[in-house]
Amino acid sequence: QQQVKQSPQSLIVQKGGISIINCAYENTAFDYFPWYQQFPGKGPALLIAIRPDVSEKKEGRFTISFNKSAKQFSLHIMDSQPGDSATYFCAASMVYSVGNQFYFGTGTSLTVIP
């Protein structure tokens, strides 16, 4: 079954608006939650990540909010720009897992309209 559930599947936002993508997980052993950004024809690239000991992490216009009790985390893109148009994947893993296995969400296609 899907270990990490992601929504929405697609998102259209006006330039300058806020983009919000949500993810939920079941396995409480997960302790590392990254977000990956993927442009067409490219591999996913790490955007921002969080450990469950904090409730929020901000890097520039990108913020992860983490709710451990609800087993949910979300990506907020402030002041969204056309250059942010990409597919975003959330993921979950265990820092000390053998093989560094990641479980990915199904992805969100973000389009930022100028």
Query: What is the nearest approach in angstroms of another protein to the Cβ of residue 101?
Result: 6
C-alpha 38/C-alpha 109 separation (Å) is: 9
In this complex, which beta carbon is closest to another protein, that of residue 20 or of residue 48? Answer: 48
In this complex, which beta carbon is closest to another protein, that of residue 47 or of residue 77? Answer: 47
Write out the residues near another protein by the rule CB under 8 A. 4, 6, 9, 32, 34, 36, 41-46, 49, 89, 93, 95-102, 104-107
DSSP letters of 13-29? EETTS-EEEEEEE--TT
In this complex, which beta carbon is closest to another protein, that of residue 36 or of residue 73? Answer: 36
What's phi and psi for 45, nearest 5 deg? -130, 135
